[in-house]
Structure 1
Amino acid sequence: MDKNGYPINAHPLSLNESTQLANALDTTEELKRDFLKPLGLLPKNVLYINPDHNGYVIWHTPSQRVDLFFVDNLGIPNGKTSIPPLL
C-alpha cells in the first residue's frame, strides 16, 4: 500500500506484510479508549464520566421499593423491600 492507502504491486502477502496489514487494521486500542465518550445528552442520574483508558462512570440511584426474588433452597421469602439511595 502506498501512503494514501492504495494497493501497489499486487501480490500474495508475505508473513511480514500480512502482520503489518493486521497491525494497521487493528482498532482494539481505540475501542478500549472510546467507550465512555457520550454522543448526546446524559441521563440525570449520571454524575461523572472519566473517558480515559481505564475509565469509569459514577451514577446515582434514588431510594426505591423493589421486588426481590430468591431461589427456594435459600429459605428466604420473596417480597418487596426498600433499597437506600446508591452511588
Structure 2
Amino acid sequence: MVTQDGVEDVDFAAGWRDQGLVVWGTLGRLMVLGRLPEVGRFLPDGAQRSVLGDRLTFPSGLETPYGLLILVARGAGPTLPAQWRFARRDV
C-alpha cells in the first residue's frame, strides 16, 4: 500500500502471519502427531498414514475408510463453498 506522500507502507504483520503458518504446517502438525496421537490422527498427516496403512510407526491411526473420509472431507470443505460462490459471482 502506498501512502499519500508516495512512501510504500510495509505490512509486517502479514509477514509474521505467513511465517507462523509455515511453522505450523511443517512442525506443528508433526509435533501434535507425535505427542498427541489420539488428536493427531484426525489431522491430514494422520489420515494420510491411515490410508497408506502405516501401522508400524503410527499404531493409533484410524482405519483406512475413516482416514479416506477425513481426507475427502478436508478437500471438499473449502471446495464446495468456493464453487457455490464462483457460480454466483458476476465475472
Q: TM-score, normalised by structure 2?
A: 0.27
Higher strand share: 1
Rg larger for: 1
Q: TM-score, normalised by structure 1?
A: 0.28
Higher helix share: 2
